[in-house]
Amino acid sequence: MGNGIIYPSVEQIEAYNMLALMVIKVKKADSHRVLSRSKIRDAISECENAEGDIYLKAATLTRGLVQKHAFASGNRRTAFIAAKSFIIANDGIFRIPDDPHCAKAMQGIREDYYSIDEIMEWIKNGKIREFKRR
């Protein structure tokens, strides 16, 4: 930690998962279950260690939470909420709209379709190229 940046805790990320599953219903079988606290810790550490501004750190956190799959359900939704909270907590502006169409881009992050710079630009400016399966 450092530079006055506020990072989320493992407990906060777990709470975001619970919130995501309550607010954004996708499947009946969605359940709040942590599969790996160490994967959550790893995603937070990667965010803390990323060399760059809060937008690059948020992109790193997003990709880490999506790809590490620390929860039984709602990993992408949790990552979205965590990134938004991180940016707002650090006095930034989160430009991705709260829109179900964003789910496609989150799928692209899961499948490693986007570079970290593309994810950062999406968070910063709200625009990202359309996800197309390879």
Confidence of residue 122 (pLDDT cuts 50, 70, 90): very high
Structure tokens belonging to residue 84: 């938004």
CATH topology for 10-125?
Four Helix Bundle (Hemerythrin (Met), subunit A) (1.20.120)
Question: Which residue ranges make up each domain of the chain?
Answer: 10-125
Tell whether the model's pLDDT for residue 2 goes beyond 70.
Answer: no
Write the pLDDT tens digit of every residue in 22-75. 887 677 677 788 999 999 999 999 999 999 999 999 999 999 999 999 999 999
| Tens of pLDDT, residues 66-111 | 999 999 999 999 999 999 999 999 999 999 988 877 889 999 999 9
**Helix/strand/coil (H/E/C) assignment for every residue in 50-112:** CCCCHHHHHHHHHHHHHHHCCECCCHHHHHHHHHHHHHHHCCCCCCCCCCCCHHHHHHHHHCC
pLDDT computed for residue 115 by the predictor = 97
Separation CA 107–CA 66 (nearest Å): 9
Q: What is the pLDDT of residue 100?
A: 74
Enter the pTM of the model.
Answer: 0.92
